[in-house]
Structure 1
Amino acid sequence: MNPQILKVEKRINADPLRIFQAWLNSEDFAQWFLSGEGIGIESVHMDPRPGGKFIINMTMDGKIFPHEGEYITIDSPNKLVFTWRSHATENQDTLVTVTFVKITDTTVVTSSKQKPQTLVTLTHEQLINDIQIKMHNHGWTSILESLSQWID
């Protein structure tokens, strides 16, 4: 099978640095990294440096589902690249790139203050079939929505 690529984008009302840091702080990460209804976070362990590893233990129906990987690129506040492996990738390494681009022509006004906006683009490569694409599209879309609500 040919590897497939998934791309998910979300505008978030915060500056790129704040959003970027939320991806590398395990306490913050555990609060917003929710991939869908009924899924929780049991624990998050991170070593946020190139070559450092992470493990995210998600829970569903009383079971723990480990998601793990290794940081490849940490370019604050512009880009994160990491491997991603879980039961949903059939325990094969895949590649995730997350970019954070400040939207300069649009600001959101709340309470007479202007908030910067960032376009977060997540690209997930090396998925091997339509089922993996569908599962990860749902998960990453939910995760970016959860991040947006948590950070706002």
Structure 2
Amino acid sequence: MNNQVLRVERKINADAKRLFRAWLNAEDFSRWFLSGELIGIESVTLEPRPGGKFLINMSLNGEILPHTGEYIKIEEPHTLIFTWRSHATENRDTLVTVTFTELSNEKSENSEVSLKHPTTLITLVHEMLSDEIQIKNHNHGWTSILEGLNKWCE
């Protein structure tokens, strides 16, 4: 089995703590966690603690697609590590690490004072994917999901 690794990054104008908590609050999570235009969220159950499990039921064309996993590490507001299993991983456990890095506020051109807009770099690394098809599909999904988080923060 190949250990294919996918890395997706996105800068979002929000503080790391808010973004981190959006991954652990089921109500917020269900508002932004969409992996594509045709995908919906049927239900979300999260147990945000190490060893806690999650279930995300996505819907596509009337079919429910369960995505499950277990939280390995929750280090607020910097690191979130969890297993990820779905039809798109051939129902095998894979590993996802999400890191939240606050970027320093940029200086305005005419001032030494920082602008009051926190920006966070989210880096998502998905490991243990089996082939290029899984890389391609998950790249699309995770990119759309991070775009959904960005829109939710606006």
Smaller-chain TM-score range? over 0.9
SS of residue in 2 equivalent to 1:114: coil
Task: Determine if the alignment matches structure 1 residue 86 to structure 2 residue 86.
Answer: yes
Distance 1:96 1:89 in 2: 12
SS of residue in 1 equivalent to 2:54: strand
Letter in 2 for 1:131: I
| 8 Å CA contact retained: 2:50, 2:73 | yes
Letter in 2 for 1:66: P
Q: Size of the alignment, in residue pairs? A: 148
Q: Percent identity between the aligned chains?
A: 64
SS of residue in 1 equivalent to 2:116: strand
Distance 2:2 2:56 in 1: 27
Summarize the Cα distance change of 1:107–1:60 in structure 2 as closer, same or farther, 3 Å threshold: farther
| 8 Å CA contact retained: 2:105, 2:119 | no
- Ranges in structure 2 where 5+ consecutive residues have no aligned partner: 109-114
Name 2:129's counterpart in structure 1.
127
| 8 Å CA contact retained: 1:107, 1:117 | no
Task: Judging by fraction of residues, say which structure has more strand.
Answer: 1
| 8 Å CA contact retained: 1:106, 1:117 | no
Name 1:149's counterpart in structure 2.
151
| 8 Å CA contact retained: 1:100, 1:120 | yes
Q: 1:115 aligns with which of 117, 120, 123?
A: 117
SS of residue in 2 equivalent to 1:55: strand
Greater Rg by CA: 2
Letter in 2 for 1:53: K
What is the CA-CA distance between 1:106 and the residue it aligns to? Answer: 2.9
SS of residue in 1 equivalent to 2:2: coil
- Ranges in structure 1 where 5+ consecutive residues have no aligned partner: none
Distance 1:107 1:56 in 2: 40
Q: Deviations 1:8-51 (Å, cap 9, x if unpaired)?
A: 00000000000000000000000000000110000000100000
Distance 1:121 1:23 in 2: 14
